[in-house]
Structure 1
């Protein structure tokens, strides 16, 4: 029938998505090289890292020119910065390092300088930034400053500064590198005991796993631990992505024969799995990253845009288009159907707002449902979630039935390509409140069965 029409970021009021614009604080990427691609991607919120060491190279003197340029340009484009206050500053003894895992500030002089820097940053940008993040993956690194106590302490002193200067700011804490339940439990307990946990809007985690659906249970365990201490603080997946090619030494998930196809599948499955579990989702990252220092020394090719070692953008990858398709369809005009479960009997008693579905196979599938808040028309996301995304499309032809479905004219959408297909009338039928679909092609990339009114193509 056509192709999903992209939505500009400034056409979307709000959504579940964040796009990563990280490492600009260490000059591993170039904002000006990719800025024109941000608005057409359809994601309004961008994740930025502030960079203490880049801003304060002489004690007590701040050079904000580099960060002013990025934030002012982003806000002018209608984007919303989520700004991280992070990494240490080696000009201070005990000031920690300026890269991932290099240690937190811990001397009295360094912590005072950190407080001064955080204060100056919030004062400078509070009229343009209302979401902040404290540190990045503080649990990583071979140093004495990566314990829950140290990371909690830097979170506490920093959120106190933010809330004093900007009481209504939303603040993200922890930024946990890989899900470590014991570490998280200790961190939450410290914040709760200090009466600080409730000040956080969300707790962020990063979890790079080869099968993007493999950590769903672990995320729910992390959520349960958080709820034990505070039921209102939310989880946010703050950084995740897959490479577009193989390569040791290129960062997380390097030990697999990735291609642009499997990257696109990974990113969209992770996004839609997060959406299906009510977790905000950040895509890492907008462009490839040319690391020149720290633990990674090669080009990290997790970008949606291909770049070279000079940080020049060469072209969008397939994943750019696939993420663009997700962003154009799934905004906050849709509400998740929370009561949706598989059943093997069509004629069962089902509550009015619940959905039951049969899937015509005993293979593992991810199935999530959404309803438009105004029209009440529905969308279902479906993909094979059994393994790591493959570099071929091994399609299975399956039948589905949805009890309490709601479609006027259903269509099929392939998220990876953005193509929209008619579902012939001979392939679907309605029996009372049951919608039956025959010969639906399913593979390890997401497809949609959606009412046509919800897809602009």
Structure 2
């Protein structure tokens, strides 16, 4: 079995120094710390729209047994698992699902619901594949034997995992050549693959939920071609992967475009939309994903990015937000459809060389604990203002402000941040925030929670009634404004400190 030396790819970082450089010290800015947020184990969270990637185990890219204990603590309720035809069928007509059953059972044991990404090819039926994993090689192009073998394999998967796996995603990123071979990507042909695969799954699991798309970035021509070919007739969910170095950039437009096109072609059928894969490397170089436009990323930048990504997804309206990946992919050489060896994928929340949590892991824990389904998305009134109208900041400061509001346990939650590229490592500034809490909500003791540190701060003395045109329209707070989310809420939300 091929191996690599993971440690040779990991750069050393002075994490305390990076935190000091990039994370504001709110006590030094005059805010009194009153306690620390607690986090929940995954089994303690009833439901959530937040998940992580658990892919590539068909290619032995990490040791899952070393990851399950951390998954139990993380708080992510979903995991995307690739089924790996090439690993399941190494002799024609004989299937070994034991390795996959072990993954599913262990994830369920720690409170995580797995869903399948059914993929890829198999060299038994595809003699031209450059590597045994057959990544990206599509059974439609290998005659009746290849197509029939794929259907038999998927049918057997359904029989094995009936009652354990509810959601079945067809393929990964079929719109790019890295994962669609030997022909060129084609939306109509992908729709045919979904049709064939969905039918095989539903032979064993009639109520299975089929996830289509798994599309790389935003590809309107590919999407429209697939929809015209009848994709919506087969699917219950559409997923896509809007990778970008600034997580909020054009996100609402992409989400809304997908919703519109699905509605246009679905004939009234309601189809959910998932952000199905997205991540940020924890170092600038030495990995496979320098195509993201990276110039100065590190563990702290990744942690900021992670928090912004999930909250931006929830604001946009995605029914699922999946972070890629639970762990760096560096257990074996990484390959795509061309068969060539790539550098490792280093977007993980866990260091793939040491199996130790990165800084992003603890930040993701807080996001999962605070923004599970107990936090109901509700649009509350808020408005950002210049702290000094006579000497205003650059207009760009207000233009980059983003907020997303929720209600949890009768309390308002407002997360807000500066949407500047986190790699710019902008120092925190001050901003005035006007906030109106609905009359049915508890907001008597305002506090500020820092997702990066877990610390909670008293806002007594930092707010005053805001009067506009002789009307009281909320409270105005003078708050720090950082390139990572801070959360305005009520102290009663944290019984351990209130």
TM-score, normalized by the shorter chain, greater than 0.5: yes
Point out the more displaced range, 239-248 or 142-151: 142-151
| Offset, 1:76 | 2.1
Q: How far apart, in 1, do the equivalents of 2:432 and 2:225 lie?
A: 47
1:301 and 2:346 equivalent? yes
| Offset, 1:404 | 4.4
* 1:126 maps to which of 141, 146, 162: 162
* 2:360 maps to which of 319, 329, 332: 319
Where in structure 1 are there 5+ consecutive unaligned residues?
345-358
Q: How far apart, in 1, do the equivalents of 2:46 and 2:375 lie?
A: 12
Report the RMSD for the aligned CA atoms in angstroms: 2.5
1:285 and 2:319 equivalent? no
Aligned to 2:292: 253
* 1:362 maps to which of 398, 417, 422: 398
* Distance change >3 Å, CA 120–CA 456, structure 1 → 2: farther
Q: Over residues 229-273 of structure 1, what are the superposed CA-to-partner deviations in whole Å (9 max), with x where a residue is unaligned?
A: 135102101110100001165225263221011111111111000
1:390 and 2:448 equivalent? no
The SS at the match of 1:390 is helix
Point out the more displaced range, 421-430 or 446-455: 421-430
| Offset, 1:454 | 2.8
1:239 and 2:298 equivalent? no
* 1:158 maps to which of 191, 194, 197: 197
Q: How does 1:186-201 map to 2 (within 5 A)?
A: 186-191=225-230, 197-201=232-236
| Offset, 1:127 | 1.9
1:424 and 2:460 equivalent? yes
Aligned to 1:36: 69
* Distance change >3 Å, CA 89–CA 437, structure 1 → 2: same
The SS at the match of 1:305 is coil
TM-score with structure 1 setting the length: 0.88
Point out the more displaced range, 75-84 or 205-214: 75-84
| Offset, 1:302 | 0.4
Q: How far apart, in 1, do the equivalents of 2:430 and 2:367 lie?
A: 23
Does the CA contact (< 8 Å) of 2:151 and 2:200 recur in 1?
A: yes
1:209 and 2:244 equivalent? yes
Where in structure 2 are there 5+ consecutive unaligned residues?
1-33, 386-394
Q: Over residues 90-141 of structure 1, what are the superposed CA-to-partner deviations in whole Å (9 max), with x where a residue is unaligned?
A: 2103797735444444221111000000000111011211121111111121
Q: How does 1:177-188 map to 2 (within 5 A)?
A: 177-188=216-227
Aligned to 1:83: 116
| Offset, 1:368 | 1.2
Q: How far apart, in 1, do the equivalents of 2:89 and 2:227 lie?
A: 31
Does the CA contact (< 8 Å) of 1:18 and 1:46 recur in 2?
A: yes
Q: Over residues 259-311 of structure 1, what are the superposed CA-to-partner deviations in whole Å (9 max), with x where a residue is unaligned?
A: 01111111111100000112010011111111514245222110001122xxx
The SS at the match of 1:265 is helix
1:378 and 2:412 equivalent? yes
Greater relative contact order (CA < 8 Å, ≥ 6 in sequence): 2
Q: How far apart, in 2, do the equivalents of 1:87 and 1:9 lie?
A: 30
Point out the more displaced range, 139-148 or 436-445: 139-148
1:62 and 2:95 equivalent? yes
Q: How does 1:335-350 map to 2 (within 5 A)?
A: 335-338=376-379, 342=383
